């Protein structure tokens, strides 16, 4: 007669926690109100542990808290130990060499007393290679971009280093990018070296979205949201179909 | 807990836009109608009606969201958006049949009505009773009663002898 154990307990910086088994260390720290710095973590996307900023110490080892599931009781986690602070400063130094002008990284550099490594200055393009954009793309139902290559050669790109043919131009990748590295334009729509058409609303002519993103959503030729509202409001009110030439109506 | 609905009575709407302003001021701290999650639709042949999310049972927006940014509160039936989880792919905006979910470029997130966690400001701000926040059960009850009332005269004249 053993009862299923569903909670796991331990301490973070001396403060006790009790969370469901499998909760990540980062989530547990957040539930205690503790802040662990992150750059490549997004609550809506699977964690990947790429930026290494969220390193914490447990059992004398460093672990990435965004990926570390709490499974055993009695874990004593330290988020501010000398080992953690040293590792984090080193991580900030490396990241800063990739994106030396990023305000969030500069703030972290001040906090941890470090700066960019001059020997790595030629890799400073603004991209951290954290892959958050790749994960957002995959979650949105497209796999247009990927991290390719290793070490210094690593980068985010479409297949064959060309503008990604599967990209639908939804811009989710650019919105989650922690450094704002991804160049894009909303109107006219362009990203990753590709220019997109924007399908106009059949009634008012305002742009609704790229044909590719509408196809992904499973809608072929939709009205824009405000014409959709107008159209069903008219039918609910028993009014005849609108003639959409009148701009006074909205 | 019973489900509650923002009931719209179009005939009572006076077109004052108070609902839009009250809605926008919650998230934006200012009267910014473009940030409102309830919208007045004005008809060119006169009249207007406020429209907001229906909290559909078979919600297309909820079905397409891959990051868990849209989630239904099973207690209240309300679908709320979590800006932290939204990646801004805007698929939900494309699939909403009613145009009641919007992407905010300014806020970099999807915005939809969450009935202000049980105390909708639009209904509180409505001066004419066009927007009321009522129990689903009572809504149906009231409609049944109104219909029954309309049958009253028939009932009394053609009742059993």
Domains of chain B: 1-53+114-161 (3.30.70.20), 55-112 (3.30.70.20)
The pLDDT of residue B46? 82
CA dihedral A90, A94, A95, A97 (to 10 degrees): 140
**What per-residue confidence (pLDDT) applies to A98?**
93
Confidence of residue A247 (pLDDT cuts 50, 70, 90): very low
Residues 110-129 of A with CB under 8 A from B: none
The pLDDT of residue A242 is: 61
Pick the residue from chain B with its C-alpha nearest to A214. B94
Q: Over the stretch B12-43, which tens digit does the pLDDT of each residue have?
A: 999 999 999 999 988 888 787 778 999 999 98
Number of domains in chain A: 3
User: Is residue A93 domain-shared with residue A119, that is, in the same domain?
Assistant: yes
Tokens of A38: 């992150």
Query: Which tens digits make up the pLDDT trace of B49-83?
Result: 999 999 999 999 999 999 999 999 999 999 999 98
Distance from CA of A149 to the nearest CA of B (A): 25
CB-CB under 8 Å, B89 with A209 = no
| pLDDT of the residue at A146 | 96
With CB atoms and an 8 Å threshold, state whether A44 touches B84.
yes
For the cut 60, the answer to whether the pLDDT of residue A243 exceeds it is: no
Q: What is the largest CA-CA distance in chain A?
A: 73
pLDDT interval class at A248 (50, 70, 90): very low
Q: Do B94 and A209 touch (CB under 8 A)?
A: yes
CA distances from A247 to A242, A244, B42, B47 (A): 11, 7, 11, 16
Domain range for A147: 132-186
pLDDT digits (tens, 9 = 90+) for A124-155: 899 999 999 999 999 988 999 999 999 889 99
Closest CA to B100 of A58, A171, A117, A230: A230
A88 contacts A55 by C-beta, under 8 angstroms: yes
Asked if the structure places residue A209 within a domain, the reply is: yes
Q: Is the pLDDT of residue A245 over 60?
A: no
Beta carbons of A139 and B67 less than 8 Å apart: yes
Q: What is d(CA B115, CA B123) in angstroms, rounded to the nearest whole number?
A: 9
Judgement on whether residues A82 and A158 belong to the same structural domain of the protein: no
CB A24, CB B66: distance < 8 Å: no
> Same structural domain for residues A178 and A206?
no
Q: Is A113 left (phi over 0), alpha (psi -120 to 50) or beta?
A: left
pLDDT in tens, A44-94: 999 999 999 999 999 999 999 999 999 999 999 999 999 999 999 999 999
A132 near A43, Cβ under 8 Å? no
Predicted pLDDT at B141: 86
Mark whether A142 and A232 lie in a shared domain: no
What's chain A's Rg over C-alpha atoms?
Answer: 24
Q: Rounded distance, CA B84 to CA B110, Å?
A: 10
Q: What's the ipTM?
A: 0.79
In this structure, the answer to whether residues A66 and A12 fall within a common structural domain is: yes
Burial of A142 from C-beta contacts in 10 A (0-12 / 13-18 / 19+): buried
User: Chain B residues contacting A, CB < 8 Å?
Assistant: 10, 39, 41-45, 47, 49, 51, 64, 66-69, 82, 84-91, 93-102, 105, 108
Same domain, A91 and A44: yes
Q: List chain B residues with CB under 8 Å of A45.
A: 67, 87
A171 with A203, same domain: the answer is: no
Residues A44 and A117 in one domain: yes
Same domain, yes or no, for A65 and A173?
no
Residue A193: inside a domain: no
pLDDT above 50: residue B7: yes
| A87 lies in the same domain as A147 | no
pLDDT at B34: 79
With respect to residue A248, please indicate whether it lies within any of the assigned structural domains.
no
- Residue B79 and residue B45: Cα distance in Å, rounded? 33
Q: If you write DSSP's letter for every residue of A97-166 in order, what string do you get?
A: HH-TT-HHHHHHHHHHT----GGGGGG-SS-----HHHHHHHHTT----EEESSGGG-EEESGGGS--TT
How confident is the prediction for chain B on average, in pLDDT? 88
Which chain A residue has the Cα nearest residue B11? A237
Least CA distance to B69: which residue of chain A?
Answer: A44
Mean pLDDT score of chain A, rounded to an integer? 91
CATH code at A102? 3.10.20.740
In this structure, the answer to whether residues A25 and A70 fall within a common structural domain is yes
Q: Say whether both A16 and A109 belong to one domain.
A: yes
Residue of chain A whose Cα is closest to the Cα of B40:
A250
């Amino acid at each position: 007669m053993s009862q299923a154990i569903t909670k796991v307990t331990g301490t973070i910086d001396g403060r006790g926690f009790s969370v469901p088994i499998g909760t990540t260390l980062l989530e547990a720290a957040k539930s205690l109100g503790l802040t662990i710095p992150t750059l490549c973590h997004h609550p809506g996307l699977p964690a990947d542990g790429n930026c290494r900023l969220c390193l914490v110490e447990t059992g004398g080892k460093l672990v990435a808290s965004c990926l570390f599931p709490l499974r055993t009781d009695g874990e004593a986690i330290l988020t501010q130990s000398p080992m953690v602070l040293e590792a984090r400063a080193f991580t900030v130094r490396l990241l800063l060499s990739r994106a030396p002008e990023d305000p969030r990284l500069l703030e972290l550099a001040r906090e941890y007393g470090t700066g960019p490594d001059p020997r790595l200055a030629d890799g400073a393009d603004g991209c951290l290679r954290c892959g958050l954009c790749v994960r957002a793309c995959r979650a949105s139902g497209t796999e247009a971009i990927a991290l390719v290559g290793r070490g210094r050669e690593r980068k985010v790109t479409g297949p064959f280093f060309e503008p990604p043919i599967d990209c639908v131009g939804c811009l989710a990748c650019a919105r989650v990018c922690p450094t704002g590295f991804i160049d894009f334009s909303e109107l006219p729509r362009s990203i990753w070296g590709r220019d997109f058409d924007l399908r106009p609303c059949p009634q008012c002519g305002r742009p609704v979205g790229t044909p590719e993103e509408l196809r992904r959503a499973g809608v072929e030729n939709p009205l824009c949201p405000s014409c959709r509202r107008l159209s069903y409001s008219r039918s609910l009110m028993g009014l005849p179909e609108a003639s959409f030439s009148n701009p006074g109506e909205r | 807990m019973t489900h509650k609905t923002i009931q719209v009575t179009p005939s009572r709407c006076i077109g004052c836009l108070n609902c839009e302003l009250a809605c926008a001021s919650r998230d934006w701290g200012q009267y910014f109608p473009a940030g409102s999650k309830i919208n007045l639709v004005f008809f060119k042949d006169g009249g207007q009606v406020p429209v907001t999310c229906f909290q559909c049972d078979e919600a297309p927006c909820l079905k397409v969201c891959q990051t868990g940014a849209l989630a239904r509160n099973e207690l209240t039936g309300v679908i709320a958006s979590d800006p932290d989880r939204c990646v801004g792919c805007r698929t939900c905006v494309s699939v909403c049949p009613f145009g009641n979910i919007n992407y905010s470029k300014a806020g970099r997130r999807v915005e939809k009505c969450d009935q202000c966690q049980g105390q909708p400001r639009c209904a509180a701000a409505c001066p004419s009773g066009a927007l009321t926040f009522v129990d689903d059960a009572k809504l149906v009850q009231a409609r049944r009663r109104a219909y029954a009332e309309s049958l009253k005269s028939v009932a009394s004249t053609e009742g059993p002898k």
